[in-house]
Structure 1
Amino acid sequence: MYFERFYDTDLAQASYLLGCQKTGEGLVIDPVRDVGIYQRAAAAQGLRITHVTETHIHADYLSGSRELAAATGAQLLLSDEGGSDWAYAFAHTGLHHGDSFTVGNLRLDALHTPGHTPESVSFLLTDTPRGDQPTMVFTGDFVFVGDLGRPDLLDEAAGGVDTRFAGAHQLFESLRDVFLNLPDFVQVWPGHGAGSACGKALGAVPATTVGYERALSWWAPLVQAGNEQAFTDELLSGQPDAPLYYGRMKSQNKAGPALLGEVSPLPELDAAAMNDLLARGARIIDTRPRAEHHAAVPAGSVNLPDGNTLETWAGWLLDPAHDYVLLAIPERAEAIRRRLWMVGIDRVVGVTDTADGLDAQPAQPLTVAELPLHSGALILDVRKKTEYDAGHLPGARQLHAGRLPWALDTLPRDREIVVHCQGGARSAAAASLLRAEGFHVNELAGGYDAWAAAHARDLQPT
């Protein structure tokens, strides 16, 4: 058997290639849209991708299942559990609890494991030449390393009303009736790792075992004791803010993400072409470091530095209906473009490596000492609610950056807004979006950390 894990560190997302080396058949679980990575890996092992599947309708990224099946001619197998509201709207082979399929000498059993989402399935793998005992289970967002998939995303990001309680009940039953009935030696390979907003305390190691989770997880004693209320209370407490773009991901993944097919390289644009596109409503994705962006902020630009959180911020702040031009090192343009595909930002039409010739103005952040001179401003705290609750500037309004584009109508256009986060990185991106939308914006240099340091004496308990 061949096994390879692919991991996107930005969205903390895992996908998997399994292969039977005797027959040359391969399966990909939970692929992303940049499907070439799986095709190249399979070819290097002498495998052909014959099957594609996914564990559930994803919320944090656009699935590549449909793209990969179209590119390879593979059979697309998807859950038909969860009812009509959670039925995939494009052609596929449906899977129900207890269904099995083979990839060469590998057998995959579909297990309906709802809770995180109603249609969620896990895949139990048996390498039949080695015996009839299962070896791995691919749990998607059902069981993570040290945590569970949150059941409140449908409420938080997809328009549900109190679905979290039904989801928590389903998760409790899935753990009791399915997961805890698996042998302790079965390896658990989840769909996300530490840093994902699909849970609250995911482990950083890539895999666990059924036995380890049974022995050491917070939830196993509660499930084994039948204490569903305590389980539900702990599960739902302290979940992180859910970015609202998750609702768009759910809808697009259910309907079927647009097929990318063969993609031509991005053209390099001069200032005249850039200005023409901007005049017609395009936006700039400025991937330069924060300091370079502040030194010369192009009109209509959003600052998403080329780094570890590009995809996250693109999902949080960018509208897929816009055309975009990358302000980036040309040699990095195609890699950045493929990362934007993860969150459905497909309309990237060109790249430039300079802001010369564009309407650009400096936007240096305010220091804490300068803040009193802006007493009439709205202080906008774009951190998580848990961070805000732990300490915040007097009178500040908390609005998680991942919800900012959906709250623009609630912000004043006749009043200055001073944006801050913990240290300054998140607020730079959020402030750049507000500038592009025409708001009068400043940033607080150093964020809450700088303010708290300057007011340390005032914050001491009495």
Structure 2
Amino acid sequence: MLLERFYDEDLAQASYFIGCQAKGEAIVVDARRDITEYLALAAKQGMRITAVTETHIHADYLSGTRELAAATGATTYVSGEGGADWQYGFEAERLMDKDSITLGNITVTARHTPGHTPEHLSFLITDGAYSSEPGYMLSGDFVFAGDLGRPDLLDEAAGGVDTRFAGASQLFKSLQEVFLQLPDHVQVYPGHGSGSACGKALGAVPSTTVGYERANAWWARYLNTNDEQGFTNELLENQPDAHAYFGRMKRQNRDGAAVMGPLQPLQELDAQQVRTMLEERSAVFVDTRDHQQVHAGTVAGALAIPGPDKLATFAGWGFDPERDERALIVFATGADQAEEMRNHLVRVGIDKVAGYISDLTDLPSYLPEQVHPRDLQNFEHSVLLDVRNRTEYNDGHIPGAKWLSASQALWKLDSLPTDGVIVSYCQSGKRNAVAASALRDAGYTVVELTGSYAGWQSELVSQ
């Protein structure tokens, strides 16, 4: 049996390729939309991808299940659990609890593990050439290394009302009735790692075991004493901010992510082409450089979205393709980097990329306005905006600051004043550059606090 993990550092998301060497068949679980790596591995191993599936209706990225099925002719499987409100809206084979997919000697068995979402499945993998019992679990957003999938995303991102409490109860029962019934040796491969907003304390290791989590996870003591209320309280406390684009991901993944098909190489654009598209507002320029370089001078009207490392995450914060039909023009040092950036963008459903430019010399320039912390008190502004996470804000903020996470700002414009000046800050300036540029593009006047919160703290110390 071949089990290969593909990990996206940007979204802290894992997908899995499982293949039977004897029969040359493979399945991919929780694929992303840029599928070339799965195809390359299949070709290298002399395998055919005959099945694709996913653990649940994802919120943090746009699923590549349909993309990969279209490219390979593989059969698509999705969850049929969760009730009428949580059914997928596209044609696929439905998996119910204990249904199986067979690939040569390998059996993939679905287990219904609701809690993170009502329809959530985990997959037990049995290598029949070696054992008659499952040795591996692909746990999706059910069990992570050291943590559990948050049950409040339906409230935060999908318009639910107090679904978190029912989700927490479901999660408690899923642990009791499925996870803790497995032998200690079963290896667990989760759908996310450290940095994901799908939980609050995910471990950075790629896998764990049932026995290790049973002995060490924070939740184990509540299961041991059957304390569901204590479990619920700790589970729901201090969950990270849910990114606003998660709602769009949920809808698109439920209905079926658009199939892109083979993509043509991105074209390098010259300055005149870029100027024309910007003037016509058929495109928006994305400055992918570090925020400090952006602050030294960028293109007029640019969105500051640093990349490629976290381009998908930050682009999800700073651009909404459902409300904005403009294509993106990205700054890239060359064709390979531009393609890498497009791969990150399509993972969050930003598909319209007009091309790239590698020289900003002949484009209209703009210097983002900043105010130094020592001048803040006498600087006229309508609101001081803290765009860090809520937990950061609660741990300490500049007196008088209003909180609005950078990941939500573009979707909560009605909470901001329509006139006057907004002064914004994060911890170091990176997240703030994303939020500030998005708000400027939406018509607001935004001045960034030099050095952000760290700069303000340093100024206090120096006084």
Q: Residue in 2 aligned with 1:327?
A: 331
Structure 1 partner of 2:364:
359
8 Å contact from structure 2 (residues 317, 435) kept in 1: no
Match of 1:296 in 2: 297
**Cα distance in 2, alignment partners of residues 257 and 59 from structure 1:** 12
**For residue 30 of structure 1, what is the aligned residue in structure 2?**
30
1:306 partner amino acid: G
Deviates more, 1:414-423 or 1:118-127: 414-423
Amino acid in structure 2 at the alignment position of 1:388 = Y
SS in 1 for 2:109: strand
Give the residue type in structure 2 aligned to 1:325. Answer: I
Query: Could you say which residue in structure 2 is the equivalent of 1:196?
Result: 196
Q: 1:409 aligns with which of 396, 414, 429?
A: 414
Equivalent of 1:368 in 365, 368, 373: 373
CA shift, 1:9, in A, is 0.6
Contact 1:368–1:451 (Cα < 8 Å) also in 2: yes
Which whole-Å CA distance do the structure 1 matches of 2:405 and 2:194 have between them?
A: 20
Q: What letter matches 2:22 in structure 1?
A: K
Checking the alignment, whether the CA contact within 8 Å between 2:245 and 2:320 is kept in structure 1 is: no
DSSP-derived class of the 1:52 partner: strand
How far is 1:377 from its partner?
4.2
Instruction: Report 1:30-429 matches (<5 A).
Output: 30-281=30-281, 282-320=283-321, 321-331=325-335, 332-363=337-368, 365-429=370-434
Contact 1:172 1:223 in 2 (8 A): yes
1:436 shift after superposition = 1.9
AA aligned to 1:168 is: A
The one-letter code of the counterpart of 2:82 is G
CA distance in 2, matches of 1:268, 1:423: 32
CA–CA distance in 2 between the matches of 1:53 and 1:76? 6
Give, in whole Å, the separation in 1 of the partners of 2:425 and 2:90: 43
Partners of 2:415 and 2:361 in 1: CA distance: 34
CA contact (8 A) 2:52 2:75 kept: yes
Secondary structure, in 3 states, of the residue corresponding to 1:388? helix
Amino acid at match of 2:375: E
Distance 2:269 2:299 in 1: 15
Contact 1:299/1:436 (<8 A) preserved: no
> Counterparts of 1:327 and 1:457 in 2: how far apart (Å)?
38
Residues 438-458 of structure 1 show CA distances to partners (whole Å, capped at 9, x for unaligned) of: 322211121111212222499
What is the CA–CA distance in structure 1 between the aligned matches of 2:389 and 2:145, rounded to whole Å?
A: 23
Contact between 1:152 and 1:236, CA under 8 Å: does it hold in 2? yes
- What displacement does 1:169 show? 0.8
Q: Which 5+ residue runs of structure 2 have no aligned equivalent?
A: none
Write the deviation string for residues 5-45 of structure 1: whole angstroms up to 9, x where unpaired. Answer: 00001110001111100110011110000111100011111
Kept in 1: contact 2:308–2:344 (CA 8 A): no
1:267, distance to aligned residue in structure 2 (A): 2.0
Change in CA separation of 1:292 and 1:304 when aligned onto 2, cut-off 3 Å: same
Which whole-Å CA distance do the structure 2 matches of 1:376 and 1:110 have between them? 56
Cα distance in 1 between the residues matched to 2:277 and 2:298: 17
What is the TM-score when the length of structure 1 is the normalising length?
A: 0.96
Task: Indicate the larger mover: 260-269 or 272-281.
Answer: 272-281
**429-438 vs 25-34, greater mean Cα deviation:** 429-438
Q: How many angstroms apart in 1 are the aligned matches of 2:222 and 2:310?
A: 35
Are the equivalent residues in 2 in contact too, given 1:296–1:355 (CA < 8 A)? no
Cα distance in 2 for partners of 1:349, 1:376 equals: 37
* Contact 2:304–2:434, Cα closer than 8 Å, also in 1: yes
How far is 1:364 from its partner? 5.1
Contact 2:81/2:118 (CA < 8 Å) preserved in 1? yes
CA distance in 2 between partners of 1:185 and 1:421 (Å) = 43
Cα pair 1:295 1:361 within 8 Å, conserved: no
> Is the 1:189–1:206 Cα contact (8 Å) retained in structure 2?
yes
What residue identity is the alignment partner of 2:208?
A: T
Q: Which amino acid aligns with 1:441?
A: V
Q: CA RMSD in A?
A: 1.4
d(CA) in 1 for partners of 2:16 and 2:339?
Answer: 23
Give the share of equivalent positions with the same residue, in percent. 54
Deviations 1:91-150 (A, max 9, x none): 111100011121111011110000000000000011011121211000100000000000
Q: CA deviation at 1:368?
A: 1.6
Cα separation, 2, equivalents of 1:301 and 1:132 = 58
> Which ranges in structure 1 are unaligned for 5 or more consecutive residues?
none
Note if contact 1:379-1:396 (Cα within 8 Å) is conserved in structure 2.
yes
Cα distance in 1 between the residues matched to 2:154 and 2:40: 35
Q: Is the 8 A contact 2:306 2:314 kept in 1?
A: no
Matched, 1:441 2:446: yes
- Mean Cα displacement is larger for which, 119-128 or 312-321? 312-321
Comparing 379-388 with 367-376, which one deviates more in the overlay? 367-376
| Separation in structure 1 between the aligned mates of residue 386 and residue 257 of structure 2, nearest angstrom | 34
Q: Across the two proteins, how many residue pairs are aligned to each other?
A: 458
Q: Classify the secondary structure of the residue corresponding to 2:147.
A: coil
CA distance in structure 2 between the partners assigned to 1:444 and 1:29 by the alignment: 43
Q: Is the Cα contact below 8 Å between 1:33 and 1:63 reproduced in 2? A: yes
- TM (norm. structure 2) is 0.96
Paired residue secondary structure (2:129) = helix
